[in-house]
Amino acid sequence: MNGGFGAVQAAAGQQVGFRLFTILAWDDAHGTLHRVHTSHPAEYPTGGQKVFSRDAPWIRRVVVYGQPYLGRDRAAVAAVFADHELIASLGCGAVVNVAVIDSGRTTLGVLNLLDAEGAYDDDSVAAALPLAGLAVEPLQRWHAERRTAALDEARR
């Protein structure tokens, strides 16, 4: 597990529970989510990325407005995730997504907790919200390392 991300995963397991847990870093300049941590590296390896339109309803809700998303069943998961069949193959049919926002109100990323259909409710969302605070520092480090790498590349 990657430093601070592993601690976030452990807390998520204790406070909410999950079958699949990922952390995605938000690249605002490119409208891209980068998978930076995963509980299932074979199915969801780190380094994966997805490009989204800012107008997509899920992106607007979670990334732009910082509101959590609760998908209670497989239909709700399928409505927002193109990879819903892979998600279902892992026994997951419910999701809680929580934005990770720094003190400057910048969205750094998203926590994704997935479990069996019907496993999550409003109490699950309430339990997941504090986890975002645990992810701020590790996501800030990830973003800083990415900026440093880009500057190094530009100097070459």
Asked if residues 95 and 22 have their Cβ atoms less than 8 Å apart, the reply is no
Q: By CB neighbour count within 10 A (0-12 exposed, 13-18 middle, 19+ buried), where does 51 fall?
A: exposed
Measured CA distances, 91 to 32, 73, 123 (Å): 26, 12, 21
What pLDDT, on the 0 to 100 scale, is given for residue 33?
Answer: 95
Point out the residues of the chain with pLDDT beneath 50: 1-2
Which residues are bridge partners to 45 per DSSP?
A: none
Closest CA to 117 of 138, 88, 137, 143: 88
Q: What angle do CA 44, 143, 52 make, to 5 degrees?
A: 55
Sequence spans of domains, the chain: 3-151
pTM beyond cutoff 0.85 = yes
User: Is CATH 3.40.50.300 what the domain over 3-151 is classified as, yes or no?
Assistant: no
What pLDDT, on the 0 to 100 scale, is given for residue 1?
Answer: 40
For 85-100, write each residue's pLDDT tens digit: 999 999 999 999 999 9
Closest CA to 95 of 28, 151, 12, 36: 12
Closest CA to 9 of 112, 139, 137, 121: 112
